[in-house]
Structure 1
């Protein structure tokens, strides 16, 4: 569907929505009618005048304020997302301490590491959506059209969520229906013929039913030759008040993302820069690889006596990735001839999950407790079919990187992968947040989980199975020595089943991790500015990496140690600030393939980001805002470094460090009309964001400008 057709649909839908003023209070249910109105806020469209303070955090499953929680948590509010001009998750990562980019599969999904530790090398780390599993299977880059805030839960969270990384996880919280009508229509145009249209509308449909609908459509060119993408997002939600004590909530999303699989540029003799950052090494006639995601969540809540609440949730997700691609294999010694392989993929997954929880407060042994008890279960099926042909001297399927000629007759790929993976997981979760004394908080938790995992290879007829059971405990302690200050420490274990198999068809053992964290938090008296400083020490074993020969292998043990600083909030009347600084030391501790002591793939020693925005009344009327940001990412290992390479004297392939700047500005001519400007990579820096190997390197975009108009009605 083109941008014109889908954009016309958005305008048509917008025209059918009753026009009302933007909501002017924080009420989200009729029960709040008696609540005082504190201040005017905006509930749809890009915001101005809001704050970066975290407010509510769903992912901790505790009512403890963030200051008192013995854990490092960074929340990017909707105001922060709007100030950054972010429409995808990838666009906010530089401003969160301890987050680094990993292989993004040619731009077809998100893949990040938190505190230096990534998840599965293909599909990435486990993420959450409203506290439920959010990205099992193959998922397009996450769109933020229907996202209210992004919660980075650092440290081990396996005691709450099971399969996860010891460095932390990401919980995306969707926009909820509101009980006051408001609508926003936005349109953007940017460099390389990039266009986006979005609609956000919400309101009541009767006294007990409220809706929200987010739509978005993109038709986006690229600085990369022959690369173009389209995406459409439909995200409905509703809240139904069944009784005064019960509610049923639904949130869904249909997302279609289509683009050529683009493996980026290649390093020549280990050096970047000879191949232009615009150069596409695939075949334009291959067409798009398409990712289609469908997500449905239902949550039933019931308030019991004495402040207790029962909650039941159901989640169903389907994903599909299919298409043909021509991908780099290796660069010959002449420094310009690239041998290529051809792949035809059809990947599908189905994920069904149930969750039931009971949460409330009680007094026991003279202490105040907030107790959570939950059980959950999931069924996940993944089918992967791929046809593939590798190059050879007789059929190199080659291209000249410095003078490419496209349109070759492609070789016919043959069956390569045909597997069916089935996972069944069942878990029991317990958590207790204890007020030990006015200045002390204790958080205890544990989760016992059993996963039955089977992988059937249809080509060979073989099936591998495993059914590990693991208990993941966690303990944390906070001390509040003075108003606005906290000192905290925590420790925990993590557990994650490894999908797939090694070159011999054997299943990988699960990843097991442990993590320690020590830190301090500060919060201003008005709670509008806060900071967290933390140090951490993490180790995990059975980590799956590319072993340098194109196969997957499990590393013996890896570690990550470091320090992070996050700060966000309001400075005085006019300034907002968000920033981070992180330093880490990652390395392979024990392995039979990777070089002992080598750094982990894609993780810099230092990264930092800061964004400051100034707001005031405009001399010509209305309000204006102007700001800027800087991000720095240090040097990173660009391909896993093997012991064989070290013995041969081959240097590790490194991605160079980079620093980029951005400019943001807006003018709100009236309360219902706003113009925006976003300039990324202001000084047109050449840089590389991530890589998987010397021939799969993702270049960063040159300077690009986006103009937007946002209307509220």
Structure 2
């Protein structure tokens, strides 16, 4: 049965189920005693727009008002109100977060405060505090997401290699001992269908389960770019005792869609190509789909030794694969003629990776004299294997197409006619020890210090030329912060921190991360300064903050102009900016989330591109707008029969951006608007209707350069039904 058929079958079934459950009182049954699992995620599971805790920024239960770091948490209520099906749907809601090229939706890619991570693998993403983004990963689904935490600034002191702009942490839903079953189905524009089931409850007095299944079949607004998606996520919570909890989670995610490089918007002379349909696909439908599969196993054990001391140990194993072929447009402007002819090449990929990591930490609260301590010590280790193989073939003009009149129907040549473009095996190992202490000097002054010691090793075998590169590094990542609690509503803070990220090997030419002698490079190093103010209303339902920062990252790799197949460490990147965030309950019936960001992100040094040319310092970083803003208002009214009616709307503004690192051309600014409404018919049945890009604005979402530009989605309508039973 296709997902399309499955959706049509499930819709009337949900309606019948809901009406049946409302028509008669259920028979009384023996109820299991409700058990509260005392974990941090349970303490922080509030659905309010404003979240009072600091998320994973401290790995403790410290209130956000007492921390010296900007943190923005997108709660489950926000995810539901904006009908977010991907974590990527949250980017526009947070100040300083910019969309980056994701090759048509193959993976998550974003920048925080101007720092985007590697162009091929994206930034650091955590999943329940564990690294979740090594290798190639399909876009994160929100069906099993409880909340999304944006941790601004370097997180290396606690989590190791990451970008200095910030880190994203996805917190998954956990099993509950109270029974709950929810089914959802959505039908939208361009033949899009999505359905999901979320069931949780107690199996025994000390064992709870959760099973989440979500499936999608999306037609998409891009010609020939259809996608399918399946998520299966079972999890279990076992109470081993009154103070000990064992959790196991499995997530299987399969994602299928064609490689989509987007459209070309300029020719070889740099002139704009006009009147190109945003639906235009410049690949080849006969090439088929890319298939991405990811298995994630997570096992954690929490134990409370006393009211003051608790410990946690966790193990995560991930297995990822990405396979597929595509006839892709070539990325240089020289392959785009003024008449719109575009050069293309075939590429076949087979990427495999596995990732094993372990964490353990001990957290305790105590006093030395009049000074209170919230102390943590822990260790982390991982082993990451990355096997990448790519074939490519170019045939001059015979595979060309035209942006105005594309030609389809070409068949892939035999694989024996392809040349090997990438063939390497990489192994990373890492062992780290971290320590952190949050000191309450007085009721108003809070001092935080942290330090991480990390031993990192990389072995990279280039199977094309049978060469081997090895590197070992010992890195220290400190951070310090000071917070002053002015009153229960206002706190002021300042912080300083360092970060690092290994210059590791990934697919493609100079991206191998070695110099012309075959040697590896020292890691990228970043440092950040930040000052800010946090606000929280007396009733703790509304909060926000303002922050100013200055970040520098050094030792960034770029192509060696004298040996284009290798790299040199010539780059420095700087970012300075201002951020404002506000979210929460304005009145009993009105909730809101809003933000504004100013980012000045640029190259700090000249970057050579050839023996006689360079990209000048001061050039802007790609896809980073200087100005961006968003707002969403939701009004909810209780009806006479006890139901609810919600009506909301908002906008997203993204300013002009450089289309590539070379900062030659600009992507224009844009504003999009959205409307959302729902009718909670009764406690068990809810209808929703959403409209995104209300005025059907044509805009560009992101780009790799002027030949790989992704158009934004047109007006989209989505009708949804949610039923509890």
TM, length-normalised to structure 1: 0.92
Q: CA offset at residue 334 of structure 1? A: 3.0
For the structure 1 residues 213 and 551, does the alpha-carbon distance in structure 2 shift closer, same or farther, using more than 3 Å as the test? farther
> How far apart in 2 are the matches of 1:183 and 1:273?
51
> How far apart in 2 are the matches of 1:307 and 1:313?
21
Q: CA offset at residue 105 of structure 1? A: 2.6
> How far apart in 2 are the matches of 1:596 and 1:298?
47
Identify the residue that residue 660 of structure 2 maps to in structure 1. Answer: 639
Identify the residue that residue 632 of structure 2 maps to in structure 1. Answer: 611
Helix, strand or coil at the partner of 2:378: strand
CA contact (8 A) 1:28 1:178 kept: no
CA contact (8 A) 2:192 2:217 kept: yes
Q: Does 1:711 align with 2:719?
A: no
> How far apart in 1 are the matches of 2:55 and 2:93?
18
> How far apart in 2 are the matches of 1:583 and 1:607?
7
Q: How do 1:288-687 and structure 2 match up within 5 A?
A: 288-329=289-330, 330=332, 331-392=335-396, 395-411=397-413, 412-500=417-505, 501-502=512-513, 504=516, 506-544=519-557, 554-593=569-608, 594-618=615-639, 622-641=643-662, 652-687=664-699
> How far apart in 1 are the matches of 2:55 and 2:266?
47
Q: CA offset at residue 160 of structure 1? A: 0.3
Q: CA offset at residue 534 of structure 1? A: 0.1
Helix, strand or coil at the partner of 1:90: helix
CA contact (8 A) 1:103 1:122 kept: no
> How far apart in 1 are the matches of 2:565 and 2:284?
22
> How far apart in 2 are the matches of 1:551 and 1:573?
60
For the structure 1 residues 607 and 300, does the alpha-carbon distance in structure 2 shift closer, same or farther, using more than 3 Å as the test? same
Identify the residue that residue 645 of structure 1 maps to in structure 2. Answer: none
For the structure 1 residues 530 and 169, does the alpha-carbon distance in structure 2 shift closer, same or farther, using more than 3 Å as the test? same
Q: How do 1:196-275 and structure 2 match up within 5 A?
A: 196-269=194-267, 270=270, 271=272, 273-275=274-276
> How far apart in 2 are the matches of 1:12 and 1:240?
36
Identify the residue that residue 647 of structure 1 maps to in structure 2. Answer: none
CA contact (8 A) 2:295 2:318 kept: yes
TM, length-normalised to structure 2: 0.90
Helix, strand or coil at the partner of 1:61: coil
Identify the residue that residue 508 of structure 2 maps to in structure 1. Answer: none
Helix, strand or coil at the partner of 2:83: coil
> How far apart in 2 are the matches of 1:154 and 1:79?
22
Identify the residue that residue 94 of structure 2 maps to in structure 1. Answer: 96
CA contact (8 A) 2:213 2:232 kept: yes
For the structure 1 residues 656 and 332, does the alpha-carbon distance in structure 2 shift closer, same or farther, using more than 3 Å as the test? same
For the structure 1 residues 663 and 699, does the alpha-carbon distance in structure 2 shift closer, same or farther, using more than 3 Å as the test? same
CA contact (8 A) 1:546 1:640 kept: no
For the structure 1 residues 5 and 60, does the alpha-carbon distance in structure 2 shift closer, same or farther, using more than 3 Å as the test? farther
CA-to-partner distance for each residue in 1:451-495, whole Å, 9 max, x for gaps? 100110111100111111110000000001122100000000001
CA contact (8 A) 1:490 1:517 kept: yes
For the structure 1 residues 575 and 544, does the alpha-carbon distance in structure 2 shift closer, same or farther, using more than 3 Å as the test? farther
For the structure 1 residues 539 and 195, does the alpha-carbon distance in structure 2 shift closer, same or farther, using more than 3 Å as the test? same
Q: How do 1:119-268 and structure 2 match up within 5 A?
A: 119-268=117-266
Residue-pair matches, total: 686
For the structure 1 residues 277 and 8, does the alpha-carbon distance in structure 2 shift closer, same or farther, using more than 3 Å as the test? closer
For the structure 1 residues 140 and 708, does the alpha-carbon distance in structure 2 shift closer, same or farther, using more than 3 Å as the test? same
Helix, strand or coil at the partner of 1:467: strand
Q: More displaced, 81-90 or 590-599?
A: 590-599
CA contact (8 A) 1:577 1:611 kept: yes
CA-to-partner distance for each residue in 1:291-339, whole Å, 9 max, x for gaps? 1011011001111135211111000001110000111115433331111
> How far apart in 2 are the matches of 1:305 and 1:620?
47
Q: CA offset at residue 596 of structure 1? A: 1.3
> How far apart in 2 are the matches of 1:5 and 1:386?
36
Q: CA offset at residue 544 of structure 1? A: 3.8
Structure 2 unaligned regions, length at least 5: 27-31, 506-511, 609-614
Helix, strand or coil at the partner of 1:581: strand
Identify the residue that residue 648 of structure 1 maps to in structure 2. Answer: none
> How far apart in 1 are the matches of 2:598 and 2:220?
32
Helix, strand or coil at the partner of 2:66: coil
Q: CA offset at residue 389 of structure 1? A: 1.5
For the structure 1 residues 124 and 465, does the alpha-carbon distance in structure 2 shift closer, same or farther, using more than 3 Å as the test? same
CA contact (8 A) 2:55 2:71 kept: no
CA contact (8 A) 1:449 1:470 kept: yes
Q: CA offset at residue 178 of structure 1? A: 0.8
For the structure 1 residues 693 and 216, does the alpha-carbon distance in structure 2 shift closer, same or farther, using more than 3 Å as the test? same
For the structure 1 residues 237 and 284, does the alpha-carbon distance in structure 2 shift closer, same or farther, using more than 3 Å as the test? same
Q: CA offset at residue 639 of structure 1? A: 1.4
> How far apart in 1 are the matches of 2:292 and 2:683?
38
Q: CA offset at residue 89 of structure 1? A: 1.1
> How far apart in 2 are the matches of 1:580 and 1:335?
42
CA contact (8 A) 1:529 1:570 kept: yes
Moved beyond 6 Å, runs of 4+: 8-21, 546-552
CA-to-partner distance for each residue in 1:329-379, whole Å, 9 max, x for gaps? 154333311110110000010000011111111112431101110011000
Q: CA offset at residue 167 of structure 1? A: 0.8
> How far apart in 2 are the matches of 1:419 and 1:639?
27
For the structure 1 residues 693 and 300, does the alpha-carbon distance in structure 2 shift closer, same or farther, using more than 3 Å as the test? same
CA-to-partner distance for each residue in 1:503-553, whole Å, 9 max, x for gaps? 745534311000010000110000000011000000001224578979766
Q: CA offset at residue 12 of structure 1? A: 13
Q: CA offset at residue 59 of structure 1? A: 4.2
Helix, strand or coil at the partner of 2:376: strand
CA-to-partner distance for each residue in 1:544-601, whole Å, 9 max, x for gaps? 4578979766442110000000100001111000011000111111143232110111
Helix, strand or coil at the partner of 2:64: coil
> How far apart in 2 are the matches of 1:556 and 1:157?
22
Q: CA offset at residue 107 of structure 1? A: 1.5
Q: CA offset at residue 69 of structure 1? A: 0.8
> How far apart in 2 are the matches of 1:387 and 1:583?
42
> How far apart in 2 are the matches of 1:620 and 1:89?
35
> How far apart in 1 are the matches of 2:208 and 2:641?
38
For the structure 1 residues 635 and 42, does the alpha-carbon distance in structure 2 shift closer, same or farther, using more than 3 Å as the test? closer
Helix, strand or coil at the partner of 2:441: strand
Identify the residue that residue 72 of structure 1 maps to in structure 2. Answer: 70
Q: CA offset at residue 610 of structure 1? A: 0.6
Helix, strand or coil at the partner of 1:117: coil
Question: Cα RMSD over matched residues?
Answer: 2.7
